Structure 1
Amino acid sequence: MTQQCDRVLDYYNQHLNDIEKAAFEKHLSECADCQEMLSDLRSLEDALPFAAEPVEPPSGMEERIFAHIETQDSSRPAESTPMRPSKKKRQWMMPSVAALLAISLFGNAYLFTQLSDNADIVEQATIDQVLQYAELAPTEGDASGTASIIDQGEEKRLVVQASNLSALSAEEVYQVWLLQDGQPERAGTFVIDNEGRGSVIFSMNEEFAERDWDTVAVTLEPDANSELPEGDIILASEL
């Protein structure tokens, strides 16, 4: 048995990454022990009751099974070279394989159930509601965009998406501003891709969330350090 032989169950459950999988498959092509073990696992899979509801394995089940397997392993004489299991040897190996497969399937079913439950909780906790929405109008050119203020439970976020923006140079960035009675506050900075598209998601703290914003604007700034607008307004809209 080699270190690769210990990975047969992980390979069967598809728990190996691409590099580990490739290394094990190379080993598998040359290892009769692993080939037979994998064949046994796949044969037993068809006989197990998949229709039952997933349940958590009884406490201590895994430890008792592995203790039994180790006891059987320790009773065998040491072998200087790997040997192909005989038919008789494979007969007593089958319960061990079945036990390993049962643990594996129980574990996978329990994990799947937990992940499904958690996914339901996350989905219920992150239902978004659009509080304000505006289509951004360009001051010139073909730029376009949208701005939304979204309620996510206890948090509010400003989401701005823009397209057909002019390419940036040097340290230039696009800066988003929220305005109330003509007074601007920074609300995110972004750059664009090769197609002139960019977006920003700005988390609004309690102070921002309570203010009555009336305008959103996007400006072209010389760098990301502008505390007040210095460049030209590219897109803007009332909220």
Structure 2
Amino acid sequence: MNEHEPVDCSFIINYLTGECTELERASYERHLRTCVSCQEELRELQAVWQTLPFHMEEVEVPADLKQQVMRSIGVTEPPKRKRSFTWLYGTAAVIVLGIMAGTWWNYSESARSKEAASALLRNPAEVVNTFTLKSADSSMPSALGTAWIVQHGEAYNVVVNLSGLKETQGDWAYQVWLNHNGKKYNCGTLRVDDKGIGVLSYDVRVKELHIDSIGVTLEPDPNGTQPRGKKVLGS
């Protein structure tokens, strides 16, 4: 197709899937402005197209995939002018591709989930470090806590149990920080009930977890990326 060559209604699939040049796309969009039939068909095709699974990994597909799909629905070449067959070709192609993609995605996700579950069963959870937290605020002298670093396979989980703290009100929250080499890393926030008890469980996705100490601060809200409030507990 050259710059001045007009497009017809059969170009809708190429436009929908993005298999066209900028000039072809612009030419078809000019066609869309005056073709009510294409406008309606495009809306329907987009509704089907948008139901396909998201966030799929790219895989190499056969070079003749389009021909395979065409043969499977009994069409050798998409008609150029007959509107009823254009819709049949477009809808059938998108649905067949959707079924193929959906089947592959579900199979891959199921295989990955089974593999991950099997790996966890083969590797029981183990406490690799324990931190005792003591009060660092004179207004809460009875505050104390324990933090456990649990390794499960290639994943780590930080479990923190606190008591003797003042109950949180409004947006206020306690925030846990992991300290290593002078740097503080946010480990999540928690609220404390009227008995002064709070629990936090936080997953850390790293190959190796190095922690020098753990601290807890009282923050005006749970949105901080660095400590802003006063320290109430520390190891």
Task: Give the structure with higher Rg (CA).
Answer: 1
The alignment's TM-score, normalised by the length of structure 2, stands at: 0.46
The alignment's TM-score, normalised by the length of structure 1, stands at: 0.45
